[in-house]
Amino acid sequence: LRLLMLGDSITAGYGLARAEGPPARIQALLRERGRNVRVIDAGVSGDTTAGGRARIEWALADRPHAAIVALGGNDGLRGLPPSQMRTNLTAILDVLARRSIPTLLAGMLPPPNLGAEYGRDFVGVFEGLARDRPELIFYPFLLDGVAGEPRLNQPDRIHPTAEGATLIAQRMLPFIETLLDRVRVSAAG
């Protein structure tokens, strides 16, 4: 099975060796559990939801059977309007739905310095998409258990260490396995 992970620098494993980033760790954990899955790393450092939207068709060139959409962090860091983020994520999810690709949406939290209203609206985008699209697998916070933990983050306090990336993979694993259970692969693959 081919699992696409569309994301930003967290997905790309910024500051880590390729084998240490979340896609490689997810792939290794799935294989340890007897699942023959290749995780396609479609992470681009600095990418926003608009960037992901612009490259979704390109990212599908490897014909994935399932997808993880892990974007939004840079939208928050740049203070971009949550309404714009929702439009972009909706477009990405629409492309995946048209191709009948089961999808996991990984949520993100905004920086606290943007205020409570921005924070509510930002989180509301992910929660609203999950509510409006019951077919999605929703993982509320990509950095759950890692954000704010100094030993699990690089000195920039944004990007996970190898240990942090492993924890991300471990925490997401049950959600990813549920996602993979929804895949229907033809004999042609």
User: Residue with structure tokens 């999808």?
Assistant: 103
Split at pLDDT 50, 70, 90, the class of 185 is low
Closest to 162 measured CA to CA, from 172, 154, 170: 154
- 188 pLDDT band, cuts 50/70/90, is very low
And the tokens for 75?
């939208």
The single-letter DSSP state of residue 20 is G
Of 125, 156, 151, the residue nearest 140 (C-alpha):
125
Region 139-161: what's the mean pLDDT? 96
Contact 2, 64 (CB under 8 A): yes
With CA atoms as reference, report the closest residue to 104 among 129, 83, 76: 129
Position 184 scores a pLDDT of: 79
The whole-chain average pLDDT of the chain stands at 95
End-to-end CA distance of the chain: 8
Q: Which residues are catalytic?
A: 9, 156, 159
Averaged pLDDT, 8-16: 97
DSSP helix/strand/coil, 50: helix
User: Tens of pLDDT along 69-83?
Assistant: 999 999 999 999 999
102-138: per-residue pLDDT in tens? Answer: 999 999 999 989 999 999 999 999 999 999 999 999 9
Interval 158-176 mean pLDDT: 98
The stretch 172-182 carries a mean pLDDT of: 97
Three-state SS across 109-150?
A: CCCHHHCHHHHHHHHHHHHHHHHHCCCCEEECCCCCCCCCCH
**Angle subtended at Cα 45 by Cα 41 and Cα 46, rounded to the nearest 5 degrees:** 140
Helix (H, G, I), strand (E, B) or coil at 81: coil
The answer on pLDDT for 23 being more than 90 is: yes
Of the candidates 30, 100, 108, which has an alpha carbon nearest to the alpha carbon of residue 74? 108
pTM for the predicted model, two decimal places: 0.95
